[in-house]
């Protein structure tokens, strides 16, 4: 009886523990962006509708991973891949053109629970740069690979490569032609419309309470000399730790100079600032003070999130406990 009693007690204890674990299960959250700097005159109703639909698809695709109990990394990768495959966003298929008429893409991903990270820069044939960034993190001893070396690694890992023509869209090509004309005339471009904005990103919280962040971009229209922005730089445009995950979009040089993503998370973790306050201080105060602008998505381990930006709009969305995608484009919308 004594042995039986101990066995029953053990079963009851285990059952109680499982109930407690279920009661304290973390509600997963996914937040995404498709770039800041949106201006209404550039988007007709059909384009707006298509973009909103793709944002919802990315949220649903990523959240399905979280609902299935998969890690935050899987949700981030899934959501960003959807956006990379759509020509409306400045990443993957919709990447902008450099001054020379080529595409140079960057991406990064980071696991907040382990601080592992992977990044790629200046790749021109990788269909989904976010997949290669993750492969760098998981299957190489390095954090960042660039150019031809990164593409050699992609081949070794079986990451899909495509002909450069895959990335050509007429809309992006005409953006470059306008920029080149301005260059010849010595005119300044409308930065918000065609300059340093674009980029897609995602931050996720999984059922285990782990965070991840990822960012992918085509960079700046008319960029030269192999310019690399903040997106693939860990701590600048992409960062995640145990308590905070960030993906930025905007004028990359200023995100690099302020180490923006890391700065937000340090404000949360070390200075114990509320997440929204920390995000606002860096994105809407520190960066503009230096002359930059843009936006970001920020997610905390408690499920709280912020989507600050200081441009006329930012493609953005989130999905949480209700399982319903919430999306927005312009500044006067509250998803």
> Which residues have C-beta within 8 Å of that of residue 261, sequence separation ≥ 6?
213, 230, 235, 236, 237, 238, 239, 246, 247, 248, 255, 296
> Which residues have C-beta within 8 Å of that of residue 276, sequence separation ≥ 6?
298, 304, 306, 308
Element (H or E) spanning 316, and its range? strand 313-319
Question: Which residue among 77, 98, 199, 217 is the active-site one?
Answer: 199
Which strands form 305-306's sheet, in the order they lie side by side? Answer: 238-240, 244-250, 294-300, 305-306
Strand segments, DSSP code E, in 37-136 are 105-111, 116-123
> Which residues have C-beta within 8 Å of that of residue 283, sequence separation ≥ 6?
248, 250, 260, 264, 294, 295, 296, 308, 309, 310
Q: Regarding beta strands 200-205 and 305-306, do their DSSP bridges make them parallel or antiparallel, or are they unpaired?
A: unpaired
- Is 199 catalytic? The answer is yes
d(CA 41, CA 43): 6
CA angle at residue 120 from 114 to 121, to 5 degrees? 140
CB 217 within 8 A of CB 90: yes
3-state secondary structure of 322: coil
| Helix 72-84, helix 45-67: angle, nearest 10 | 160
Please give the structure tokens belonging to residue 110: 């980071």
In terms of C-beta density within 10 A (0-12 exposed, 13-18 middle, 19 or more buried), how is residue 193 classed?
A: middle
Catalytic residues: 199
């Amino acid at each position: 009886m004594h042995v039986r009693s101990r066995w029953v007690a053990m079963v009851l204890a285990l059952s109680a523990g499982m109930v407690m674990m279920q009661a304290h299960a973390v509600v997963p959250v996914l937040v995404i962006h498709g770039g800041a700097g949106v201006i209404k005159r550039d988007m007709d109703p059909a384009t707006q509708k298509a973009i909103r639909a793709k944002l919802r698809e990315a949220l649903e695709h990523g959240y399905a991973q979280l609902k299935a109990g998969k890690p935050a990394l899987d949700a981030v990768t899934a959501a960003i891949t959807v956006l990379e495959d759509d020509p409306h966003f400045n990443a993957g298929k919709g990447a902008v053109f450099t001054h020379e008429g080529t595409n140079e893409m960057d991406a990064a991903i980071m696991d907040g629970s382990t601080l592992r990270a992977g990044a790629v820069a200046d790749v021109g044939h990788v269909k989904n740069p976010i997949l290669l960034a993750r492969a760098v993190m998981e299957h190489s001893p390095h954090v960042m690979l660039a150019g031809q070396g990164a593409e050699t690694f992609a081949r070794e890992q079986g990451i899909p490569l495509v002909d450069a023509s895959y990335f050509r869209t007429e809309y992006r090509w005409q953006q470059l032609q306008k920029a080149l004309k301005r260059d010849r005339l010595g005119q300044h471009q409308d930065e918000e419309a065609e300059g340093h904005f674009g980029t897609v990103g995602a931050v996720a919280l999984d059922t285990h309470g782990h965070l991840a962040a990822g960012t992918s971009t085509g960079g700046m229209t008319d960029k030269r000399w192999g310019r690399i922005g903040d997106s693939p730089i860990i701590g600048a445009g992409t960062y995640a730790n145990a308590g905070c995950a960030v993906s930025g979009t905007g004028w990359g040089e200023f995100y690099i100079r302020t180490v923006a993503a890391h700065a937000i998370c340090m404000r949360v973790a070390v200075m114990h600032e509320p997440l929204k306050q920390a995000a606002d201080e860096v994105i809407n105060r520190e960066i503009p003070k230096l002359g930059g602008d843009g936006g970001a998505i920020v997610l905390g381990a408690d499920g709280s999130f912020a989507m600050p930006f200081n441009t006329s709009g930012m493609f953005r969305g989130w999905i949480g406990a209700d399982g319903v995608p919430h999306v927005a484009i312009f500044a006067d919308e509250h998803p």
